[in-house]
Amino acid sequence: MRTIALPAGLALLGLALVLGLGAGSFTVHMVAHMGIVAVAAPLIAYGLVGTQGDPPAGLAWVTPILASLVELAVVWFWHVPVLRATADASRALTLFEQASFLAAGLLLWITCLRPGDGRLAGTIGLLFTSMHMTLLGVLLALAPRPLYGDGAVSCFGIPLSAAVDQQIGGVVMLMVGALSYLAGGVALLAGLLRDGEEKMVEER
């Protein structure tokens, strides 16, 4: 699994970046965004952790909770309506936005997946991220009016109103983002509990 995680993550990252550059739809933007932080980033992180490509120990002071807060700040920052519109109007700024998503995603996943005694903190960090992704997804899906324009858009060739496009984008964040971080947190917790049981057996 680890041997294919890195190339698979890089391939998905490239696809998400291309998709994000051509996004005229909020749903398409969200698919690209979730592809970067919730699919490509964990695969790349899993492929890097414990190898020579693992970031230096100088980042050891970055805790999973701090990394989760960094991701929260980056994600919510780029979804402020005026900033979202500014990024959509500039290809260079869109690339910078996607790069910031990738950096925040890798920081979080690498910090949480790194082996050692910090797996409980990693679990908490991923579950907290799942909660704030869920909150933002719900807010976007249930907003009483469109926040990112008011005209019709083309979403993968399907014409949608701005309101419906935003609602679908919110659901994408809610389903993909929240579930990815929740699954990661549960997997870490399951490993922690399994190690605890094995230790108890050995002590007997």
Per-residue pLDDT of the chain (204 residues; tens, 9 = 90+): 677 988 999 999 999 998 888 667 899 999 999 999 999 999 999 888 876 666 655 566 788 999 999 999 999 999 999 998 898 888 899 999 999 999 999 999 988 887 666 678 889 999 999 999 999 999 999 998 999 888 888 888 889 899 999 999 999 999 998 889 999 988 888 877 776 555 555 555
Measured between alpha carbons, how far is residue 131 from residues 67, 121, 182, 184 in Å? 14, 15, 8, 13
Predicted local distance difference test score (pLDDT) of residue 41: 95
Predicted local distance difference test score (pLDDT) of residue 201: 52
Q: Of 146, 23, 13, which is closest to residue 93 (Cα–Cα)?
A: 23
pTM: 0.87
Predicted local distance difference test score (pLDDT) of residue 189: 86
Predicted local distance difference test score (pLDDT) of residue 120: 86
**How confident is the model over 61-110, as pLDDT tens digits?**
788 999 999 999 999 999 999 998 898 888 899 999 999 999 999 999 98
- Residues sharing a CB contact under 8 Å with residue 103, sequence separation 6 or more, in sequence order: 74
Measured between alpha carbons, how far is residue 124 from residues 14, 47, 51, 62 in Å? 29, 22, 24, 14
Domain boundaries, the chain: 2-203
Residue 80 tokens, joined:
């402020």
